[in-house]
Amino acid sequence: MNIPPYNKRPDMGRLREIVRVMGKYHFGNILEAIGLKNRLFESLKLYIKSPEEIHEPAPVRLRLVLEELGTTFIKLGQVLSTRADLVGREIADELAKLQDEAPPFPFRDVRRVIESELGMPLEDIFSEFQEEPVASASIGQVHRARLKSGEAVAVKVQRPGIAATVKSDIILMKYLAKLANDRIPGLEYYNLPGIVAEFERAIRKELDYHQEANNAERFRAMFLDDETVYAPYVYREYSTSRVLTMEYVEGVKLTEILESDIKFNARTIAERGARCYFKQIFIHGFFHADPHPGNILVQKGNVLCFLDFGMMGHLDRSFRDKLAELFILLMNYDVNGIVNQLRYMNILTEDTDLEEVKYDIMDLLDRYYGADVKKVGEILTEFTMPEMIMKHRIRIPRDFVLLARVMSMAEDLGERLDPRFNGLEVAWEMTYSLMRKRLNPLRNLDEVPSALIELEHIMNDLPRGMIRALQRLEEGKLKMELEHRNLDEISRRIERSTNRISVAMLVSALIIGSSLVAIPKEALILQKFPFLGLFGFAVSFLIALALIISIIKSRKMT
């Protein structure tokens, strides 16, 4: 999806709609701050609810604004719900309630999209196709069908025109983000244009069903040998960027289990869910980033089946190893170890006061530690709050924030299934197992091929790099960039000190010379009196006096 940059002209009709909805929910102060209450909107009659009609706090009103503005803004809210480090815990929790639901679009449009994408009539692909969707969202809807070969499938079809709507809204978001970033003091820290750019990447992936198919296949391969976790099979020959055909899976959604008296082994489900998530995070570094109960089915035998692979998180091997170490330190209440580990993970910066952050971590752990610790996800989420980030000048990797949110959601889900369940028992077992494997000397053999490749690159590049550097040095084209701070002031001070040392040396020389001349045997004596020696002493005295006065004045000035 090619989304134009923010400097393209925004849709003024849509902009008026945004202003109307924001005014309706009493966000007029924001409109005024970014300069949208100008003559262009004076004639726009806003329906603004009276204070008596609105009793909800700002986070709730923000959610209502996004819901009313539709698809793109709902998706933006869902992305921001994973960034508590930017919007704060209260807003993130409220935005997590956004439901991506929309009225279904007509079957004739479904047929047109499928036949256009797959290049053949619907009847030549499916022996059965239910016209009523089993689920309908803002980007697409899902229909149950049966292939000619007999397999039951779920066909996800993208809503017609949704890509164009998203493009238009992205242009508006970039326009508004730049206005707010330029005109509201203090917002530079949040980098609103950067947030919109991150959202653009996320929704670009969600609009491309090829990406979701790749995610589903990778997840399925991860748990192919695990009888407790399942992922549907993707029928690639019947999938495109706008149509996704997957195996239809029978099961009961976790939402139904939580809200009804359906008999399942809740403790088994909670334990398997915890093992599944820790395996995704620590072993594979590829995890399902939306563990909403509606995205997880429970099949016979308490088998967990994951759905909707549009949002996934990624962690590289080095970060996973450090994360496992951090978990062990958290569970052991090792504050000094936690601080050091956060430094190794490049989360603490040079500007961080290590003593201050240590005391804040102690306070944070004390809030959660007791007879039974269950909330590591909560601890990580608290650490990624804006207050901590700004106070200690720490930098949080995006996937670390996403990981904290996912773990927190998984912990809450496990607790709702079984209040007695403690997922950290699973985490403890798995992280220690990973650490034992990591300390195994044979583990390093896996890294030999990549190390040899890197060594080969260095051996190939080093001679060429040295030759280029020598050529530039010979030609006088070698450039060096130095960053200096307050060097002018340092130079002035060095110059003053050097001058004073020079004058002091001169005075010393004059004194010594005058002393020698004043000796009767060596002096030029006029009537037996060493006038030349006394003259040298007088000059030395005056220069020394001037030097002392200069030093006193410079101290007063500084």
Q: What is the C-alpha to C-alpha distance for residues 180 and 175, in angstroms, rounded to an integer? A: 9
Tabulate helix, strand, coil % of the chain (nearest 5).
60, 10, 30
Place of tokens 């929704």: 203
Cβ-proximal residues to 252 (8 Å cutoff; 6+ apart), any chain: 262, 264, 297, 298
Residue 454: CB atoms within 10 A of its CB come to 11
* Measured distance CA(513)–CA(502) in Å, rounded: 16
Q: Is 11 a catalytic residue?
A: no
Which tokens in the block code for residue 299?
């099949």
Report residue 492: phi and psi, to 5°: -60, -40
Which H/E stretch holds residue 327? helix 317-331
Paired sense of beta strands 303-306 and 229-230, if any: parallel
Contact yes or no for 238/245 (Cβ under 8 A): yes
- The strand ranges marked E within 7-73 are none
Question: CA–CA separation, 69 vs 63, rounded Å?
Answer: 10
Distance between CA atoms of 295 and 249, rounded to whole angstroms? 12
> DSSP states of 249-261 as a string?
---EEHHHHHHS-
Q: Give which of 426, 335, 417 is closest to 374, Cα–Cα.
A: 426
Identify the DSSP state of 104. P
CB contact at 8 A, 139 and 209: no
Rounded Cα gap, residues 24 and 350, in angstroms: 45
* Cα 169 from Cα 265, distance rounded (Å): 45
Determine which one of 290, 353, 366, 412 is catalytic. Answer: 290
Specify the DSSP element, H or E, that contains 22.
Answer: helix 12-24
Supply the residues annotated as catalytic. Answer: 290
